[in-house]
Amino acid sequence: MSDTIVMRHPTLPKDQEIEVPRDAMPHYTAAGWQRVPAEELDKRAALKAQAEAEARAAEEAADAKTEDQPETDPDASEEPEPESEEASTSRPARSRTRATKKDEEN
């Protein structure tokens, strides 16, 4: 059996639950927390497992479908040309001085 239990408080939303050590249950029940029924947890676990199985089956079906179809763009499989290291690190030069009215008069 598990060393933790799931509890919820009646003043909080039903989906806001906490998982606490089984030994700490008296502390939490004194504060108003209630244990979530095992039937509810089992039902949730079954629904989650079913959803994961359906997602896995859909993913496998999508993978099988893409394997059956040839690529439409033959150039898509080519790797893009790597940029030169110099081009990616250098920036265009810009002036570090500001034009002042004194400079504009001269």
Token pair listed for 71: 């690529």
Please check whether residue 91 lies inside any domain of the structure.
no
- Domain assignment present for residue 24? The answer is yes
Please give the residue range of the domain that contains residue 33. 4-67
Q: Is 77 within a domain?
A: no
From residue 2, how far is each of 23, 43, 53, 78 by CA, in Å? 11, 17, 25, 53
Is 23 among the domain residues? yes
100 lies in some domain: no
| Mean pLDDT of the chain, nearest integer | 81
- Tally of domains within the chain: 1
Predicted TM-score (pTM) of the model is: 0.49
In a domain, 53, yes or no: yes
Q: Is the pLDDT of residue 85 over 70?
A: no
Query: For the residues 5-29, what does the mean pLDDT come to?
Result: 94
In a domain, 97, yes or no: no
